[in-house]
């Protein structure tokens, strides 16, 4: 595995982040079901989204890629795949496809890499079975997952923990079902599926409930219409540079054309509470998603407590946040983030281990972690095959005293193949 060596350096310049991963997956998956041609521009060409493309192709859907423009020729009925569908490292691919396959007149087996094979699928299998599909998972829980589609019935399903992937799987199955399908979440998770479905002409109803819970509902059968999607830049990919720049006195970073969907930007609120100077300019809506420019000016930050309903809105940004917290003054505490244990790695463990490896004091909590900020001496970190650990600790190198070596950094290609190039462009020695 190649090792990425990152020396201390000041962050300065303009970043154009790659297309949003969540929206790119959805453009292909929903486009695959919409009869006719769906076009996604600024599509993320990365390992995860290529898995989604390969899976829908194996289901008989034609997809053409021309640079970062992808055309999907959707069809209402898919073809039974000849092989196991390989979702690779991608939780979004496997979970959303489970939902979509539940209403198709065929049987398919979905599998993934060693990381995906450790991630829970019962959270989608249980509601999809309630709707009428046959869904079996290894040990009742893990990939491979076998889905046999059936005639579906709408259900109302309450999620114990907010999850956009589970919510989306159920809503997508709801497109085929008879009657209403409602998903209740204890806090709002990212709503890209809802926004794209609306752009494709499907009626999606959202109701706020007591205590910050939300109910999202579709009525089936409903057929999405093809659409042209302009995919915004990925906030989660930009977040590594945003968090590091915000925490580095003297840094100046502009992030252009980045997605600013409020269900994704919890990190900005937290950085501001830490004392960061982050401004949003030119906020506009593109294809149903908020997009804008971020201007970040580095400062010395102070520690913060993060918990509760904002956690789903920054769940993928915790690795970036802890790096900023490492050089901030005082302690940072993250709680209510037990979901991190079932991401591409157990991110509570892997983040704490990586912080210690670079000389930062940190400890695990059952549902979060504590970082004792102040100094970031540097050292060698193992990515554990997790793209977000690799990228977070690569930018930690810029903030460090003696540099950081990230072993296994090639996994950044899961979501951000050009990460290394941007790191070199934005780091001034
Ligand atoms: C995603 C949802 C999130 C996030 C993941 C991508 C999506 O997971 O962590 O990286 O595209 O729907 P949850 O399902 O836990 O919300």
Chain segment 360-370, per-residue pLDDT in tens: 999 999 999 99
**Residue 168 Cα, ligand 1 centroid: separation in angstroms?**
10
Which one from 316, 346, 367, 420 is the annotated catalytic residue?
316
C-beta 102 within 6 A of ligand 1: no
**Residue 217 Cα, ligand 1 centroid: separation in angstroms?**
19
Spans of all domains in the chain? 3-19+232-428, 21-225
State the pTM of this model. 0.98
Average pLDDT over residues 163-171: 98
Atom of ligand 1 nearest to the CA of 316: 9
Please state, in angstroms and as integers, the Cα–Cα distance from residue 300 to each residue in 198, 244, 370, 398, 415, following that order: 42, 11, 19, 15, 29
C-beta 311 within 6 A of ligand 1: no
pLDDT exceeds 90 at position 429: no
C-beta 92 within 6 A of ligand 1: yes
When pLDDT is cut at 50, 70 and 90, the band that residue 1 belongs to is low
Q: Please enumerate, as own/partner, the contacts of 53-60 that have beta carbons within 8 Å and a separation of 24 or more.
A: 53/28, 54/86, 55/85, 55/86, 55/87, 55/93, 55/97, 55/110, 56/28, 56/29, 56/32, 58/82, 58/83, 58/85, 59/32, 59/85, 59/104, 59/108
Q: Degrees (nearest 5) of the Cα angle 322, 324, 327?
A: 105
Reported as a single tens digit per residue, the pLDDT across 114-155 is 999 999 999 999 999 999 999 999 999 999 999 999 999 999
C-beta 29 within 6 A of ligand 1: no
Phi, psi at 123, each rounded to 5°: -65, -25
C-beta 189 within 6 A of ligand 1: yes
Look up the CATH number of domain 3-19+232-428.
Answer: 3.65.10.10
316 catalytic per annotation: yes
**Residue 244 Cα, ligand 1 centroid: separation in angstroms?**
23
Reported as a single tens digit per residue, the pLDDT across 328-360 is 999 999 999 999 999 999 999 999 999 999 999
The H-assigned helical ranges of 1-90 are 21-31, 47-58
C-beta 384 within 6 A of ligand 1: no
Q: Atom 9 in ligand 1: which residue has the minimum CA distance? A: 316
Peptide bond into 144 cis (omega under 30): yes
Q: Distance between CA atoms of 38 and 50, rounded to whole angstroms?
A: 16
Atom of ligand 1 nearest to the CA of 193: 12
**Residue 403 Cα, ligand 1 centroid: separation in angstroms?**
31
Look up the CATH number of domain 21-225.
Answer: 3.65.10.10
pLDDT exceeds 90 at position 2: no
Within the chain, how many helices (H) and strands (E) appear?
Answer: 12, 24
Q: What is the pLDDT of residue 93?
A: 99
pLDDT exceeds 90 at position 176: yes
Atom of ligand 1 nearest to the CA of 189: 16
Q: Distance between CA atoms of 336 and 312, rounded to whole angstroms?
A: 9
Same fold, 3-19+232-428 and 21-225: yes
**Residue 259 Cα, ligand 1 centroid: separation in angstroms?**
15
Atom of ligand 1 nearest to the CA of 343: 9
C-beta 163 within 6 A of ligand 1: yes
Reported as a single tens digit per residue, the pLDDT across 78-95 is 999 999 999 999 999 999
C-beta 49 within 6 A of ligand 1: no
Residue of 167, 168, 189, 265 with the most ligand 1 atoms within 8 Å of its CB, for mutation? 189
Of 294, 301, 299, give the one whose Cα is nearest residue 278: 294
């Amino acid at each position: 595995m190649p090792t990425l060596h990152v020396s201390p350096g000041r962050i300065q310049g303009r970043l154009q982040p790659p297309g949003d991963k969540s929206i790119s997956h959805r453009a292909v998956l929903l486009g695959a079901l919409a009869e006719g041609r769906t076009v996604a521009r600024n599509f993320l060409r990365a390992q995860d989204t290529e898995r989604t493309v390969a899976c829908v192709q194996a289901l008989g859907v034609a997809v053409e890629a021309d640079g970062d423009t992808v055309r999907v020729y959707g069809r209402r009925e898919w073809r039974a795949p000849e092989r196991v569908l390989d979702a690779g490292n991608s939780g979004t691919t496997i979970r959303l496809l489970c939902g979509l396959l539940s209403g198709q007149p065929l049987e398919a087996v979905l599998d993934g890499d060693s990381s995906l094979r450790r991630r829970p699928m019962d959270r989608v299998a249980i509601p999809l079975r309630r709707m009428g599909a046959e869904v079996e998972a290894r040990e009742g829980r893990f990939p491979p997952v076998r889905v046999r589609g059936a005639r579906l019935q709408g259900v109302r399903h309450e999620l114990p923990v907010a999850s956009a992937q589970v919510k989306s799987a159920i809503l997508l199955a709801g497109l085929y079902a008879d009657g209403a399908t409602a998903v209740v979440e204890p806090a709002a998770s990212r709503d890209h599926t809802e926004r794209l479905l609306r752009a494709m002409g499907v009626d999606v109803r959202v109701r706020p409930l007591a205590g910050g819970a939300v109910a999202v509902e579709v009525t089936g059968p409903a057929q999405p219409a093809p659409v042209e999607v302009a995919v915004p830049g990925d906030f989660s990919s930009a977040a590594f540079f945003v968090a590091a720049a915000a925490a580095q006195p003297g840094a100046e970073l502009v992030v252009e054309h980045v997605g600013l969907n409020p269900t994704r930007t919890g990190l900005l609120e937290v950085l501001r509470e830490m004392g960061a100077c982050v401004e949003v300019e030119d906020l506009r809506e593109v294809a149903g998603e908020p997009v804008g420019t971020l201007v970040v000016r580095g400062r010395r930050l102070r520690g913060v407590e993060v918990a509760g309903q904002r956690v789903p809105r920054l769940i993928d940004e915790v690795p970036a946040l802890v790096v900023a917290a490492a050089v901030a003054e005082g302690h940072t505490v993250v709680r209510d983030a037990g979901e991190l244990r079932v991401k591409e790695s157990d991110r509570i463990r892997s983040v704490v281990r990586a912080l210690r490896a670079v000389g930062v004091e940190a400890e695990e909590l059952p549902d979060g972690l504590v970082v004792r900020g102040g100094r970031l001496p540097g050292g060698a970190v193992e990515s554990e095959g997790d793209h977000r650990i690799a990228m977070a600790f690569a930018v930690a190198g810029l903030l460090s005293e003696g540099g950081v070596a990230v072993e296994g950094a090639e996994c950044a290609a899961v979501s951000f193949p050009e990460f290394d190039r941007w790191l070199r462009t934005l780091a001034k020695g």
